[in-house]
Amino acid sequence: MSILSLRTFPFSVMLSGLAVASLGQYAVSQAAPTPSPLSSLIRTNAPVVALTHVTLFDGSGEPPKHDQTVLVDHGKIAAVGPTSSITIPPTASVLDGHGKTLLPGLIGMHEHLFYISAGGGVGHPLLATEQAESAPRLYLAAGITTARTTGSIEPVADLALKNAIEQGTQAGPDLDVTGPYLDGRPNMILQNQSLTSPEDARETVDYWSKRGATSFKAYMFITPAELKSAIDAAHAHGAKLTGHLCSVGFTEAIEMGIDNLEHGLSADTEFDPRKKPGVCLPADAQAARSVTQLDVHGPELQGLIHTMISHHVALTSTLAIYEDFEPDQPPLESLQATKSALSPTSWSDFLNLRGVIREHPRYQSPEAMAQVLKKEMEFEREFQRQGGLLMAGCDPTGIGGVIAGYGDQREMELLVNAGFSQAEAVAIYSSHAAKYLGRESIIGTVAPGMQADLLLLNGDFEHEVSTIRKPEIVFKKGIGWDSAKLQASVAGVAGQR
Ligand SMILES: [Zn+2]
């Protein structure tokens, strides 16, 4: 035994233990195929499936059609139409969809794979904990079949997870992995590295592009020169760059070539009279006033909307995370599913932070957050009305009440509260995002030839938007995942891992 192997002895015991385990599996699989550890989470993987008599929202934004049948054949949609017009092959597995609603698989465009672990309040270091186990399953269970990670804390883990999902060894949405946050100084999350120069911004984008990141996100304290450098570097790799901005105003970022803006007006400091170039202003009462005093039909916002649309800059709606900062919103009774998903420690940390928000409301008054949310809803409606590309995601950050999947259900409800029809809200969460990703010929609508990504809801979503909280089966590439089993498999785990 060499010195090297003596030194590595404890590791070699572990490794050989693993090797024995996997050899054992291999030996068994020679005799009879071992069921995949994920197979208990799958409701159906029949090669041909007919979903009959459903109410169908096809993702285009058109009103729903009733008594429709969708035929899935080997991972693709083979036929869509009135039930009476579709011939169902005798080999098909038939799912009766009477009283149910079918949506395209949803595309979440602001979906982190971490959870903010703030330890229950002020004075604790702000850590973000990778949710490699719970987040992908909770997203998929809610019908999110494609997700952009929109700022990564552990890009190595996110990329490994993306590959594991593609290879079928983990359950979750297809991932557009965003590189690490491109932030300046200070930055809020302990694990984020601050950029030091425009050159550093370019090198960071180059480094993560080469390792598989397919999008980037600028964060609040990036300098204008770093932002410009990061945008150019991302574009050189064929990647898009979005931003949760603060130091740089929206119009300035649009002129630099940014592709997407996150959150909306509260992240745009350009209308604050105190604005100085490159400076991120505090989220205080004056900041709230500078947003709520704007008129969506006035020259400032009409000008901004025009600039965004003429430069093809998309907007990502994150209404659920705005609501998370409103004192005592949403009511705790509506968060029972979130409570059962979270670990007891994470749930109690969240309740503590709700207390902090009640005592010290953002913008210094309990009403200001609600007014900012209302203005944001008006802005998003006007942006879309004029032809802007609006997308959505849950942004599971804030004080911890918005989590993967369940947060997207709330976001969908809030889009409808904002005045979008159900069909428009579905399009925001599907075909709009597919268009932004350049994947609109593959995902985002329910039509023949498209990938069979579908969300079956157990109820009438057309007349009751809270039906979004009743996902039953989520098809991804034709495999029908059981939502309840996905959720149960990680109950009490979210927040921890
Ligand atoms: Zn975010």
Summarize pLDDT for 344-360 with one digit per residue, the tens: 999 999 999 999 889 98
Backbone angles phi, psi at 260, to 5 degrees: -155, 145
Task: Determine the distance separating the centroid of ligand 1 and the alpha carbon of 110, expressed in angstroms.
Answer: 6
User: Minimal CA–CA distance to 320: which of 242, 243, 418?
Assistant: 418
* CA 108 to centroid of ligand 1, rounded, Å: 12
Segment (H or E) for 299? helix 299-310
Report CA-CA distances (Å) from 19 to 26, 29, 167, 424. Answer: 10, 15, 20, 51
Q: For 419, what's the count of Cα atoms within 13 Å in the CB-facing half-sphere?
A: 13
- pLDDT of 138 reads 98
**Distance (Å, whole) CA 422 – CA 435:** 19
Using the mean position of ligand 1's atoms as its centre, give its distance from the Cα of residue 396 in Å: 7
Is pLDDT at 210 greater than 50 in this prediction? yes
| CA 166 to centroid of ligand 1, rounded, Å | 24
Mean pLDDT of 236-242: 98
The region of weakest confidence among 113-117, 254-258, 335-339, 408-412 is 113-117
H or E segment to which residue 322 belongs: helix 319-324
Instruction: For the chain, give percent helix, strand, coil, nearest 5.
Output: 40, 20, 40
Check if CATH label 3.40.50.170 holds for domain 106-437.
no
Is the pLDDT at 14 greater than 70, yes or no?
no
CA dist 357 and 364 (Å) reads 10
Contact 93, 480 (CB under 8 A): no
Count other C-beta atoms under 10 Å from residue 458's C-beta: 17
Q: How far is the CA of 152 from the centre of ligand 1 (A)?
A: 9
DSSP designation for 60 = S
**Structural contact between residues 36 and 481, judged by C-beta atoms closer than 8 angstroms:** no
pLDDT given at position 15: 35
313 close to 261: Cβ distance less than 8 angstroms = yes
Distance (angstroms) between ligand 1 centre and the Cα of 201 equals: 19
What are the pLDDT digits (tens) for 444-453?
Answer: 999 999 999 9
pTM: 0.93
CA 428 to ligand 1 centroid distance, Å:
18
Q: Which distant-in-sequence residues (6+ apart) come within 8 Å of 142 by Cβ?
A: 106, 404, 405, 406, 408, 409, 471, 474, 483
Q: Write out the H or E segment, with its range, that includes residue 208.
A: helix 198-210
Got the DSSP string for 215-252?
Answer: EEEE-TT--HHHHHHHHHHHHHTT-EEEE--SSS-HHH
CA 82 to chain centroid, in Å, comes to: 32
Ligand 1 geometric centre to CA of 353 (Å): 18
Cα 232 from Cα 456, distance rounded (Å)? 41
Interacting residues of 219 by C-beta distance below 8 A, sequence separation 6+: 151, 181, 182, 183, 184, 187, 192, 243, 244
Distance of CA 161 to the CA centre of its chain: 15
**Which band of pLDDT confidence, cut at 50, 70 and 90, is reported for residue 33?**
low
Dump pLDDT digits (tens) for 75-85: 999 999 999 99
Q: Are strands 48-56 and 65-73 parallel, antiparallel or unpaired?
A: antiparallel
* 39 C-alpha to ligand 1 centroid (Å): 32
Strand partners, 48: 73
The band of 186, judged by pLDDT with boundaries at 50, 70 and 90, is: confident
Q: How far is the CA of 293 from the centre of ligand 1 (A)?
A: 25
Residue 454 Cα to ligand 1 midpoint, Å, equals: 25
Answer whether residue 96 shows pLDDT above 80. Answer: yes
With cut-offs at 50, 70 and 90, classify the pLDDT of residue 32. Answer: low
Residue 21 above 80 pLDDT?
A: no
How many angstroms does the Cα of residue 489 sit away from the middle of ligand 1? 25
Q: Are 226 and 182 spatial neighbours (Cβ–Cβ below 8 Å)?
A: yes
Is the Cβ–Cβ distance between 468 and 457 less than 8 Å? Answer: yes
206 backbone dihedrals φ, ψ, rounded to 5°: -60, -50
CA 304 to CA 438: how far, in whole Å? 24
Residue 25 has pLDDT above 80, yes or no: no
If you measure from the C-alpha of residue 103 to the centroid of ligand 1, how many angstroms do you get, rounded to a whole number? 25
Side chain identity at residue 100, one-letter code? K
CA 12 and chain centroid, separation: 39
Q: Domain residue spans in the chain? A: 3-34, 106-437
Q: How many angstroms separate the alpha carbon of residue 308 from the centre of ligand 1?
A: 20
Instruction: Tell me which residues have their CB within 5 A of the ion that is ligand 1.
Output: 395
Looking up tokens 């089993």 gives 485
Helix (H) or strand (E) holding 162: helix 155-167
The mean pLDDT of the chain is 92
Q: What are phi and psi of 166, to 5 degrees?
A: -60, -35
**Residue 164 C-alpha from the chain's centroid:** 18
pLDDT band at 107 (very low <50, low <70, confident <90, very high): very high
Percent above pLDDT 70 for the chain: 92
